[in-house]
Structure 1
Amino acid sequence: MARAGLDRDRVVAAAAEIADAEGLDAVTLARVAAAFGVKSPSLYNHVAGRDDLLRGVGLLGLSEIAAALREAAIGRSGTEGLVATAGAYRSYVLEHPGRYAAGAITAPDAEDAELLAAGAAVLDVLRGVLRSWSLDEDETIHALRAYRSAIHGFVSLEAAGGFGLPLDLDASFDRLVHTLAAGLDGR
């Protein structure tokens, strides 16, 4: 019998909090169960195991990052949209590194329709931002890859303390995003 008040959403949310605070390796069934004061087997009423738990964290992360990007993109296009969504992407990753790592780094399993749809929602927002450059499908894919690679790379280095030189990171990030926009403008 499921413990009163415990459901899949709460279990996944607790795992997401642990992932954000301590990394994905810290997310175990025992650790999440302890957060609720229950034994690990109780969680099997809500998740199929650790892989399913991490999948849930990934889905949550993709859903949240898509919402953050959509909010940032509203009423913006071109360079302005690129700058706004890149800033939202950066903020989300820095605030929720575990959720991001669980869902947005690797391509979802081709058999997992729910994860595919969640990933597509993120890309759809970015496709909308890129629309003002009138790219064909292949060029759009190249631009999406460049955007994700550049933003992911910068934020991953930033989160890991990889930028040791004493120069404003915000200014560097702004230059990176504007360089992407200039590349799209000059293609």
Structure 2
Amino acid sequence: MGLTTERVTRAGAELADELGFDQVTPSVVARHFGVQVASLYSHVRNAQDLRVRVALLALEEMADRAAAALAGRAGRDALVALGTTYRDYAREHPGRYTAAQLRLDHATALASAGPRHAAMTRAILRGYQLTEPDQTHAVRLIGSVFHGYITQELGGSYDHSQPGPQESWERILDALDVLLRHWPHEGQP
């Protein structure tokens, strides 16, 4: 079969997009390749290892896309590019996007592309003249808004109401831009 850790991980990612991340198990991946589950265990230790590998792949893919989208952009343009990159990735790869939200242990998280995501968000915030500790608060706000909206949209929360989700997305990006330009400093109401 020519199985490798990379092939097993990529198959897990494809199956996550097709079936949902919670359905990705070594037995499902083994069926995909037409092999016994034991054949996978020289490439992944167990179901959790497979899930972590899919999450790391997704984080890396999103970071690469975000870096390309952010190149040469600043301020609102950069904010929109980052959010749009995440949203587009989630639409194209819903299972991988879900995988990217997996809680990783500290060492794995530090070695992942997660810090690249935070660094890119911080780079955007420098264009808004935010410094610490406000930068950290703003990184968390942006992540919460982007990932919360995208997760709800993927779950169908906005399918049955008007205005449509695209209009709301654009308004949310506008509101985030205004908030970041007028960030309240400590002691301000």
TM-score with structure 1 setting the length: 0.92
Match of 1:129 among 112, 124, 129: 124
Of residues 151, 154, 159, the one that matches 2:149 is: 154
The alpha carbon displacement at 1:111 in A equals 3.0
Which position in structure 1 is the counterpart of 2:48? 51
Deviation at 1:135, TM superposition (A): 1.2
CA distance in 2, matches of 1:100, 1:94: 8
**CA shift for structure 1 position 90:** 0.7
Among candidates 77, 88, 101, match of residue 74 of structure 2: 77
Deviates more, 1:162-171 or 1:172-181: 162-171
Query: Does the Cα contact within 8 Å between 2:67 and 2:120 map onto a contact in 1?
Result: yes
Aligned-residue Cα RMSD (Å) equals 1.4
CA contact (8 A) 1:108 1:116 kept: no
Letter paired with 2:106: A
Deviation readout 1:28-62 (Å, 9 max, x if unpaired): 11110111111000001100111100010000000
TM-score, normalised to structure 2, is 0.91
Aligned partners of 2:52 and 2:104 also within 8 Å: no
The offset of 1:11, in angstroms, is 0.2
C-alpha deviation, 1:166, in angstroms: 2.8
Matches of 1:54 and 1:78, distance apart in 2: 35
List alignment gaps of at least 5 residues for structure 1.
Answer: none
- How far the C-alpha of 1:107 sits from its partner, in A, is 4.4
Q: What CA distance in whole angstroms lies between the structure 2 residues aligned with 1:179 and 1:147?
A: 11
Equivalent residue runs for 1:26-175 within 5 Å: 26-103=23-100, 105-112=101-108, 116-163=111-158, 164-175=160-171
Amino acid at match of 1:112: T
C-alpha deviations, 1:134-166, integer Å up to 9, x for none?
A: 211211111111111111111111111101213
2:187 is matched with which residue? none
Identity of aligned residues (%): 38
Q: Once superposed, which parts of structure 1, at least 4 consecutive aligned residues long, lie more than 3 Å away?
A: none
Matched residues, number: 182
Please state whether the residue corresponding to 2:107 is helix, strand or coil: coil
SS at match of 1:111: helix
Residue 186 of structure 2 corresponds to none
